[in-house]
Chains A and B, each alone.
Chain A
Amino acid sequence: SAVISQKPSRDICQRGTSLTIQCQVDSQVTMMFWYRQQPGQSLTLIATANQGSEATYESGFVIDKFPISRPNLTFSTLTVSNMSPEDSSIYLCSAQEDSYGYTFGSGTRLTVV
């Protein structure tokens, strides 16, 4: 199955700054997804990233706050912009490699102070 390398694994950031999270997949995948998981909660889908097109955002998430890039079939980035303490969460990228499920990166634990 595909392996996704996600970095950074954790970061502590000042409010008002931005953080870019990177995900590298070891094989080509059509769709990549970005999720947020707040402490003790389930995964909430932020957006879907296709190569060569704008990301599709879920209700409650906007491009200005969470810009996404998908320059090729193995890589994607998510930026958390103008951060506030409410953005403290675990951010996960995911890719569907076939019809049998989705693989996740190891996650980025973000703390905004």
Chain B
Amino acid sequence: QKEVEQNSGPLSVPEGAIASLNCTYSDRGSQSFFWYRQYSGKSPELIMSIYSNGDKEDGRFTAQLNKASQYVSLLIRDSQPSDSATYLCAVLERGSTLGRLYFGRGTQLTVWP
């Protein structure tokens, strides 16, 4: 399995703060990256995908990609208690748009009111 590393948690932030989640990957040829949110006892749900270097914003979420550094991050602005979940970084197998997806261990985020 490809190596996908996430910053160790748990991460705890107050409501309204910015939560920063980080991920590094070992396969330099990887091209597609995803962030999933997983609530306790539920299956993962896709919240962001990113394919090009730079930032991609979607509402309160911003994904950042730096392929030279093999680094992906997710910023959650104006964090809400409902954002409390485990966030999984996933990397698509190199050279394929229909390939295997490899996951990091996840970072557990708690947003306290």
Contact = CB atoms under 8 A, between A and B. Distances in A.
Partners in one complex: yes
A20 interface: no
A31 interface: yes
Contact of A45 (B34, B102, B104): B102
Contacts of A103: 46
Interface stretch (A11-19, A36-44, A67-75): A36-44
Interface stretch (B65-73, B76-84, B93-101): B93-101
A42 B1 contact: no
A92 interface: yes
Contacts of A41: 105
Count class of interface residues, chain A: 20 to 34
Most chain B CB inside 10 Å of its own CB: which residue of A30, A31, A43, A48: A43
Interface residues of B, number: 21
Interface string A38-57: 00011111001000000000
A33 interface: yes
Contact of B104 (A31, A42, A106): A42
B98 A59 contact: no
Q: Determine the main DSSP class of B at the interface with A.
A: loop
Interface in A63-113: 92, 94, 96, 99-107
Contacts, number: 50
Given A41-B105, A101-B49, A96 B98 contact: yes
Interface string B10-53: 00000000000000000000001010000000111110010000
B88 interface: yes
Most chain A CB inside 10 Å of its own CB: which residue of B34, B44, B99: B44
A41 B90 CA distance: 14
Interface in B55-70: none
Contact of B49 (A44, A59, A100, A106): A100
Contacts of B45: 104
B101 A104 contact: no
A31 B97 CA distance: 11
Nearest to A104: B43
Interface of B: 1, 32, 34, 42-46, 49, 88, 90, 97-106
